[in-house]
Structure 1
Amino acid sequence: MTDVTTEFEKATEAVFTDGDVERARLLLGVDTPIKNQEHVTTASYDSIRNFAWGVGDSNPLYTDEHYGESTRWGSQVAPNIMSQIMGAPMLGDPMPDEIKRAAKGLFTGIHVFVSGGSNEWFRPILPGDRIVGYAGEESIEVKNSEFSGTSVIQVRRSVRLNQRGEIVAIQRVVRVLSERKKARERGKNSTIEPASYTDEDMRRIEEIYAQEGPRGADPRYWEDVSVGDDLPPMVKGPLTTTEIIAFHAGGYGFAPYGLKSSRLAYENRQRIPAFFVKNDQGVPDVAQRLHWDSEWAKAIGNPRAYDYGVMRQTWLHHYLTDWAGDDAFVLRQEDSMRKFNYQGDTQFISGAITQKRQTPEGGVVDIEMQMTNQRGEKTTFGTATVALPSRIGGAVVLPQPEISEQRKAAEMYARHLELVAERRR
């Protein structure tokens, strides 16, 4: 047997250096093609349905191959948030050699978690759409406190394109980097007790599930909503390992690290050995298992395994689309995770309309959302802008990216197509 804590200590001695931050600054504003191949590269009837199921979404617009044919979209469509987990490798010019050399081994061994981010959407994803993208670091900030020591906040911006070179989405991910040893020292005396539920507790949760459901084909018109309107409640959980498995089965691949088995897992260990740490049986396994292995999560400083930040982002999106109906379009979503969502925890989602206005896309509403766990703690906050159909103005008009963004996307995609043609010759 192997002591997981000992393996943790061996694997997590890395600390920040002044050089790390300065080298990271060299990456700001440098956009390069995303080379990762996600589990889903091209949307299909099945991949869209499986993603929705992995999120817990039963909307037939996403899960039924034919339902969407009678909607304004004329087809099954994907939830906009699916753009986050899709991607084929994009070809393009590499990062300049001097920057690549300077960034090699940057922040090795440092613990990274996603604390939130934002998405803007411009086009729906339809069956047959193939998504590629490019990305770069947008900002970096160093924070110091007596409680948490040194941490680095990085914002990475990515642009997703379809096979026509159209911008589908622009995503920003906020990553928090901290020294794992310090994280463990902060969390070793945690007093958070594991969640437990009585039959009455479960009935409370299941009563909300029984009332949930997508609005569907009944349009929610802009004229019929008001500032201050509450959205109906939604619940997610209690969180189990099964939910994590379902999310991965829905297409979340965690590229470029990923989950592999047998010989492919061996090859992954050769490629990124620092990502693998022995479990209590002496078997090298992914550091990522803190999302389902509570003993490993405890070694890293948490009382038990916890969810992915991107899971909660998809849950908030599900909340919005259930309320808005088939004819609406989520233009923007921003979210911030303030507390962990541990195994056994339940998230109760609530929201309200904070603003109602007219834009080039027609009538839109701004919505504030939050998640509260069974301990009464507010764990997640979100805002969104949703375009609704109008009784007077008609259907929602899809937004257009900034001209400068469209030009950059056109250049990147043209280079991609040029290199694809060269490969085929």
Structure 2
Amino acid sequence: MEGTSGGEKAAPLRPGIRDTVVRAAGGAVAALEQLAGGLGTAVVALGVLLWLALAAVTAPLGLGLLMAPKALRALHSLAGRERDRLGRWGPEVIGPGPAPTRLRLALVDPTTHRELRWLVRHATLGFLLGMVGVLLPLMAVRDALFPAYWRLMPQDTSSTSLGFGPAQTWAGALAVALLGLGWIAIIVGLTPGMARLQAAPGRRLLSAGPDVDLSLRVAELTATRAAALDAHAIELRRIERSLHDGTQNRLVTVTVLLGAARRMAARDPAGADEILERAQGAAEQALAELRSVARGILPPVLADRGLEGALTGLAASCAVPCRIDVDAPARCAASVEATAYFVVAEALTNIAKHSGAEEATVTVRSHGGRLRLTVTDDGRGGADEDGGSGLTGIRGRVAALDGTLSLTSPRGGPTTLEVELPCGS
């Protein structure tokens, strides 16, 4: 009777489970980085808060009146740094205009009031969450690796990172290691929520208030309109170059070859047939280039097969294995579907060229009049919008339709690109 051989390999994780594990680990690492970054600004926030408190206490003596302008400048500078930090880990936080630093004006300025409220919360709750985010991985490493070094520890040293119970047997050392695995589970399960909780006051209080929303919206629409016009001009130049440098030259060649064949027809029929074959080849190449230009303007596959069929075609031609998951029962506006198609096409091109990924996933959902795209890969991460990888072009296309784009790409991966578009644009 056959038995299980000792050298038999364990069954590999199924792709779905592997994706879940990789996604959870990447999310935990990104959350720890966010919490550590938030701890840095929270430490500074605590100092600024004490500075402002000292200025308020010494105001009756006149010293606080001299300290207040510099303290307010520090507050506004720190708030600007926090907006930049939050923008690196999610949607951009657009702040209002410059806040006053003169005490009399600051006392009635709504932006300063909102920044002060954020300062108190970030210096307390944000500081606490940041400390926990920094200590958790240290405790996890310390306890999980305890069996490797417990015999080297002094006799009365506590075995756990919580500071109780010296381990004197292997069973106790393994129990400490189990505690380390518990810390890892806490990191994976709770740190993403902790990072969101730490960032929530900044996203709510440091963004523009309702009194300036209208002017900011006008400025935002003006900027996106300018970006759309620039993108349109760039696209027209691309089409013009394609027609001028490719198709037009092919058609000129066809014209020249047809003229030569007509002149040779009477005296050298065989030579004329050869020239006609060359002319036919040039005409076929010109036709192929025209089709390529037409597909670049608006892929006909969108009209024929819809967004799901078009994205399935993109996945089939991608160099990296790609899984498509589309749940969008209702058709969106043609401009929205075209933008979604080009976003996915550019994202898959970037994945194939730069990520070193083994697998990519494209998820499309339609809900509440919004079309949400998510493109994820298990590559090396570290995607940089300023690095010339096409992300700037994607952002421009999305902004032209009043959509939103967010990119999460920590070093080591995974990379997640999320785009949300209004279905009726």
State the TM-score, normalized to the length of structure 1.
0.23
Compare the two structures and name the one with the higher helix fraction. 2
Structure with greater Cα Rg: 2
